[in-house]
Amino acid sequence: MSRIGRMPIAVPAGVTVDIAENNKLTVKGPKGTLSRVLASEMIIKLEGSEIVVTRPNELKRMKSLHGLTRTLINNMVIGVTAGYEKVLEINGVGYRAAKAGKELTLTLGYSHPVVMVDPEGVETVLEGQNKITVKGIDKEKLANTLLKSEIRRDLNHIRARVLNMLMK
């Protein structure tokens, strides 16, 4: 059995989990609500204050989905309780950031500034001119936002990497 998949997920106080038909999972907590349709083959049960994911058989696809399903549910529970946060640091001569409303303007050595709008559910906070904190409850959406901001400059291989993720 999958080492990750067999571990139960603890549901903290203040978090409600609703498992609907076809494994549509809705997790509500103090920071917000997340909803996701998971693999219908997996068996997801709420037993007391724990969520248990089991697989119906030992096929390779089921083994792959087992750990993935458990991890996705765990990320949802963590997101609605504590949330996710990453810090980006801009390094370079003349490189800076400015925030106006939901728009983050990055000056990264191009002939024009790069404007990024905060997606739904993701918030960027600027500390000084070179530290950007990206916060959100959906880990996948947060990672996609970070990827878009990093690729903007990494595609130009002439210069060194601009944005460094500082793990928190």
Digit-coded pLDDT (tens) for 38-72: 999 999 999 999 999 999 999 999 998 999 999 99
Number of domains in the chain: 2
Shared domain check, 120 and 52: no
Shared domain check, 77 and 88: no
Least confident of 1-15, 128-142, 143-157: 143-157
**Binning pLDDT at 50, 70 and 90, where does residue 89 land?**
confident
Angle at 119 between CA 145 and CA 51, to 5 degrees: 75
Query: Does residue 166 register a pLDDT over 80?
Result: no
Q: Domain ends where: 81, 96, 127?
A: 81
Shared domain check, 148 and 127: yes
Query: Does residue 152 register a pLDDT over 70?
Result: no
Query: Does residue 165 register a pLDDT over 60?
Result: no
Shared domain check, 90 and 157: yes
Shared domain check, 76 and 128: no
Shared domain check, 93 and 152: yes
- Dump pLDDT digits (tens) for 110-123: 788 888 888 888 99
**Binning pLDDT at 50, 70 and 90, where does residue 78 land?**
very high
Query: Does residue 27 register a pLDDT over 90?
Result: yes
Task: Please state, in angstroms and as integers, the Cα–Cα distance from residue 128 to each residue in 26, 69, 86, 109, 133, following that order.
Answer: 37, 39, 16, 18, 11
CATH code, domain with 74: 3.90.930.12
**3 falls within a domain:** no
CA dihedral 92, 130, 146, 133 (to 10 degrees): 160
Q: Domain ends where: 46, 61, 81?
A: 81
pLDDT higher at 88 or 147: 88
Shared domain check, 118 and 68: no
Across the strands, what pairs with 123? 135
**147 falls within a domain:** yes
Question: In angstroms, rounded to a whole number, what is the distance separating the alpha carbons of residues 161 and 157?
Answer: 8
Task: Please give the single-letter amino acid code of residue 94.
Answer: G
Burial class from Cβ neighbours inside 10 Å (0-12, 13-18, 19+) for residue 106 reads buried
State residue 96's pLDDT score: 85
Domain extent at residue 55: 9-81
CB 108 within 8 A of CB 114: yes
Percent of the chain with pLDDT strictly greater than 90: 54
